[in-house]
Amino acid sequence: MKKKVAIVGAGMIGLCSAYYLRKKGHDVIVIDDHDGYGGASVGNAGFLCPSHVVPLASPGIITQGIKWMLNEKSPFYIKPRLNKELISWGLKFKKAATAEKVKIAAPFLHQITTASQKLAEQLLQDEKINAGYNKNGLLMLCQSEKELHHEKEAADIARGFGQSAEVLTPEEVAKLNPGLDLNICGAVYFPNDTMITPHIFLREFQKVLKANGVEFMFNTSINSFEREKGEITGLVTSSTTIKADDYLIAAGSATSPLLRLLGLRLPMVGGKGYSFTVNNPPAIPQVPSILSDGKVSMSPMMDGLRFSGTMEINDLNSAINLKRVEGIVNTATSFLPQFKKSHFTDIKPWAGFRPCSPDGLPYVGKSNKFSNLTIAAGHAMLGITLGPVTGDIVAKIINEEPNDMDLSLLAVDRYN
């Protein structure tokens, strides 16, 4: 049965959901409170990583996070404050960060990341989108033997799921990146990982969706919901009221505040990440990389070399903290001898919020309170990676089709 579906959120998750819903013949309208390029889907590293199967909540992360919290330039920082929801989220995160929980989550993460990469490749091919698709893999570059040992352990886990992973010497890394000098002791190479230039992909993807009949309303905020007898009957926006048969909330870190308008609680915090692009770098790597010791991504984009990183929890405050940016620059110059501080003088720092659930897995599924409400959020650092598969899952849910995956780990009411 043909439906009208209203999607709140024009990031990777919302657009992919619109794409697959439209392919199934539904009428789709996408509402966003920015111009379509304001969320975390724009300024990220662009990685599509089936190799990364360990969720954010994992053993050892809390101890390391506490050490990092003492340094405002470190990869992880929580602005100290008394906040009931943050404390509740932290306790749930601690409970999820165990070897037993990871053992359950990792196989499922591998299943959906692998499926999503295949869908992404098909989408790019079918729609002829040129977004700098890079199939050169991903390097985890390490300066310390301790970090290299940690990455080797991650490689062993990935191999256990059939992913290719190689431990490389600095000389072997140099062959993959001719002309790029690196200050490293070794690396782990995941040849199956890929990447896109996300802001260009979103721009071209929007064009495809518009050409296929998807309607967009930008710079439009949601003020309230109309509801009756366990159903949503309308979205009251800043300009009009939108009526639809089904509603999808895929608004990233803004999803929890929106759901509170419906009396729903979704444990999630916004992990602020920073990025900037060097337009004329002294050298450009062939292989996308993560500078592991500093948790900084290095992504060769279509319009320059992007550095991105840090996780800052601070009440969705979008202000740029220059100390966080300085931390990324310090990591970059430490790893890359050809890069001097002068290469970063004209950068324009960007910040966006990764929506983080306590267990590191997204929320995707029907609300247990409203029969025509679907939620898709909480993808943390895997929004680009998991966008296509999430859109496919959402379309099947709204189209009332069976899914060949066990989606219980993504249940939106798992903390209720």
**Enclosing H/E stretch for 256:** helix 255-260
Region of residue 106 (left: phi > 0; alpha: psi -120 to 50; beta: else): alpha
pLDDT digits (tens, 9 = 90+) for 187-197: 999 999 999 99
**Residue 97 pLDDT:** 83
Residue 383 near residue 393, CB atoms below 8 Å: no
Terminal Cα distance for the chain, rounded: 31
Which residues are within 8 A (CB) of 286 and not within 5 positions of it... i.e. 6 or more apart?
A: 136, 176, 177, 178, 180, 300
Half-sphere exposure of 409 toward its Cβ, with a 13 Å CA cutoff? 21
Same domain for 30 and 179, yes or no, is no
Alpha helices for 97-169 (secondary structure H): 99-127, 145-160
Residues 29 and 163 in one domain: no
Do 79 and 181 share a structural domain?
Answer: yes
C-alpha torsion sign, points 361, 199, 278, 40: negative
Contact, 110 vs 150, CB < 8 A?
A: no
Q: Is residue 297 part of a domain?
A: yes
What pTM value is reported for the model?
0.95
List all residues 6 or more positions away from 380 whose beta carbon is below 8 Å from its beta carbon.
56, 271, 354, 355, 356, 357, 360, 362
Q: Do both 351 and 273 map to the same domain? A: yes
Q: Are residues 146 and 253 in the same domain?
A: no
74 vs 105: CA distance, rounded Å: 27
DSSP states of 237-248: ESS-EE--SEEE
Q: Where are the beta strands (DSSP E) in 19-111?
A: 27-31, 47-48, 76-78
What is the spatial distance between Cα 180 and Cα 284, in angstroms, rounded to a whole number?
A: 7
Instruction: Confirm if 320 and 349 have CB atoms less than 8 A apart.
Output: yes
Contacts of 103 (CB under 8 A, 6+ apart): none
For residue 335 the two structure tokens come to 């790893």
pLDDT of residue 83: 79
Instruction: Output the tens digit of pLDDT for each of the chain's 416 residues.
Output: 899 999 999 999 999 999 999 999 999 999 999 988 877 889 999 999 999 888 776 666 666 665 666 666 667 776 666 778 888 888 898 888 888 888 899 899 999 999 999 999 999 999 999 999 999 999 999 999 999 999 999 899 889 988 999 999 999 999 999 999 999 999 999 999 999 999 999 999 999 999 999 999 999 999 999 999 999 999 999 999 999 999 999 999 999 999 999 999 999 998 899 999 999 999 999 999 999 999 999 999 999 999 999 888 767 778 888 988 999 999 999 999 999 999 999 999 999 999 999 999 999 999 999 999 999 999 999 999 999 999 999 999 999 999 999 999 999 999 98
Query: What is the rounded CA–CA span in Å between residue 334 and residue 181?
Result: 11
Nearest-angstrom CA–CA distance, 338 and 315:
37
Segment (H or E) for 6: strand 4-8
Query: How many domains, the chain?
Result: 2
Identify the pLDDT of residue 122. 98
Per-residue DSSP letter, 379: B
CATH number of residue 381's parent domain? 3.50.50.60
Instruction: Mark whether 280 and 140 lie in a shared domain.
Output: yes
Same structural domain, 285 and 242: no
| Residue span of the structural domain in which 364 resides | 4-41+201-266+360-410
